[in-house]
């Protein structure tokens, strides 16, 4: 079996930022207009008024302060409440492939590799903008990579599942190096008109280069990976290709992200902590051996609790860095942003764990050691 390492990462961050204050102002104006328009039904009791959102709630419940988005004007326009993205003709690169190419170029540069060194592309994300051809094949074409590409989706866990898929191919020898990208245009499937979740997501794309260890690479060796899934309806998006066959093409709440937030919090935290602890134990490692944990970035309170369960004490900000205050939940990209931004300072021999979790339910754990 070959040894495998992460030798480069990259992040595409959209320029536009929506602060909690801007988000709440636009949602509250949308809610006020809705309540005014439906004043009679609300007065007769046949309709509930839309409640107002608050900055204080968002910060306290999630730790999120702002998010990057591909289109701010559409998202904060109370008469629209969703991004406005220009439709692209088939002979122009798709938007997911475009942001992935940007992040991929950074990851390749950090790895000191070119397209010629890569054998395959995995596009792992929580939504893909079309059914086919695969976005990964378009990225492969745009970068001039030979070999193969495929798309995969395990929601917020897509990146760690993508790392295991790539690492297994490299270990067994079917590929020498793989580029994995996570273009997350979450603003397209977030429901900006629902105060329970309108603050959750942000847009970004991450990229990871993984390759066979041949001796003198600088990077993080992937020591072991573990995945787990358990079916749950508590995070769900019902949008799909059979929609027209159900004669349900009208406006529907379940065509966007939905969750039972409290249940997700309660059920996913122990699942994540259990997988991380059993994974470490299988590798004869103690939580105290870890220099850092790069967790999925959904909720600060959730991460604090997971860190506490794994370490048996509160983790420091250095041990468990968060980026969600600036990025919000970027679905599969969150743990990779944290890893990319907060791993360069650790010395050779340091151990860490990348862990993501989300819909499915799904959890992925990747133990790495600085070479």
Residue number with CB closer to ligand COA (224 or 301): 301
Half-sphere exposure of 185 (CA within 13 A, CB side): 19
If residue 358 lies in a helix (H) or strand (E), which one and from where to where?
Answer: strand 351-358
Binding to ligand COA in span 253-282, by CB under 6 A:
259, 261-262, 264-265
Is 235 a binding residue for ligand COA by CB under 6 A? The answer is yes
Residue number with CB closer to ligand COA (40 or 56): 56
Name the minimum Å distance from CB 184 to ligand COA: 12
Binding to ligand COA in span 111-140, by CB under 6 A:
none
The CA dihedral of 191, 96, 357, 277, to the nearest 10 degrees, is -160
Residue number with CB closer to ligand COA (255 or 371): 255
What's the burial of 51, exposed, middle or buried (CB within 10 Å: 0-12/13-18/19+)? exposed
Alpha helices in 4-78 (DSSP H): 20-37, 39-44, 55-62, 72-75
Strand boundaries in 28-157, DSSP class E: 66-69, 120-124, 148-152
Binding to ligand COA in span 292-321, by CB under 6 A:
298-299, 302
Nearest alpha carbon to residue 285 among 252, 321, 311: 311
Residue number with CB closer to ligand COA (257 or 339): 257
| Residues composing the chain | 371
Binding to ligand COA in span 32-91, by CB under 6 A:
53-54, 57-58, 61-62
The site string for ligand COA over 174-203 (x = CB under 6 A, - otherwise) reads ---------------------xx--xx---
The CB-nearest residue to ligand COA is: 261
Report the alpha-carbon distance of residue 98 to residue 92 in Å, rounded: 10
Residue 356 and residue 363 in contact, taking contact as beta carbons nearer than 8 Å: yes
If residue 161 lies in a helix (H) or strand (E), which one and from where to where?
Answer: helix 158-172
Residue 202: phi and psi, rounded to 5, are: -145, 165
The site string for ligand COA over 320-349 (x = CB under 6 A, - otherwise) reads ---------x--------------------
Residue number with CB closer to ligand COA (302 or 310): 302
The DSSP output letter for 157 is: T
Beta bridge partners of 367: 224, 353
Residue 217 and residue 211 in contact, taking contact as beta carbons nearer than 8 Å: yes
Annotated catalytic residues are 156
Residue number with CB closer to ligand COA (104 or 276): 276
The footprint of ligand COA on this chain (CB under 6 A) covers a number of residues equal to: 22
Question: What are the residues binding ligand COA (CB under 6 A)?
Answer: 53-54, 57-58, 61-62, 156, 195-196, 199-200, 235, 259, 261-262, 264-265, 298-299, 302, 329, 358
């Amino acid at each position: 079996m070959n040894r495998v390492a992460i030798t480069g990462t990259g992040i595409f961050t959209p320029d536009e930022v929506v602060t909690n204050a801007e988000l709440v102002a636009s949602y509250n104006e949308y809610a006020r207009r809705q309540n005014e328009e439906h004043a009679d039904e609300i007065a007769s009791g046949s309709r509930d008024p839309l409640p107002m959102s608050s900055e204080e709630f968002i910060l306290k419940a999630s730790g999120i302060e702002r998010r990057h988005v591909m289109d701010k004007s559409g998202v904060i326009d109370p008469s629209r409440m969703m991004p406005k993205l220009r439709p692209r003709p088939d002979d122009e690169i798709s938007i997911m492939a475009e942001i992935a190419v940007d992040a991929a170029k950074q990851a390749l540069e950090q790895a000191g590799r070119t397209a010629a060194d890569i054998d395959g592309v995995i596009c792992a994300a929580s939504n893909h903008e079309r059914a086919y051809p695969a976005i990964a094949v378009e990225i492969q074409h745009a970068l001039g990579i030979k070999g193969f590409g495929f798309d995969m989706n395990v929601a917020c866990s897509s990146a760690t599942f993508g790392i295991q898929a790539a690492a297994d191919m490299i270990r067994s020898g079917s590929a020498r190096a793989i580029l994995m990208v996570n273009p997350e245009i979450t603003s397209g499937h977030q429901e900006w008109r629902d105060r329970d979740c309108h603050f959750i997501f942000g847009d970004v794309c991450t990229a990871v280069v993984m390759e066979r260890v041949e001796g003198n690479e600088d990077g993080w060796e992937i020591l072991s990976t573990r995945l787990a899934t358990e079916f749950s309806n508590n995070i769900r998006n019902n949008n799909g290709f059979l929609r027209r066959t159900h004669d349900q093409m009208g406006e529907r709440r379940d065509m966007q992200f939905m969750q039972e937030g409290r249940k997700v919090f309660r059920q996913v935290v122990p699942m994540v902590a259990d997988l991380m602890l059993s994974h470490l134990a299988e590798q004869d490692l103690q939580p105290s051996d870890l220099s850092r944990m790069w967790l999925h970035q959904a909720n600060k309170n959730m991460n604090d609790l997971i860190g506490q369960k794994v370490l048996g004490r509160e983790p420091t900000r250095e041990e468990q860095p968060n980026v969600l205050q600036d990025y919000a939940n970027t679905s599969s990209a969150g743990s990779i942003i944290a890893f990319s931004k907060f791993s360069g300072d650790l010395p050779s021999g340091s151990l860490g764990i990348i862990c993501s979790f989300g819909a499915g339910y799904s959890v992925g754990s990747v133990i790495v050691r600085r070479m």
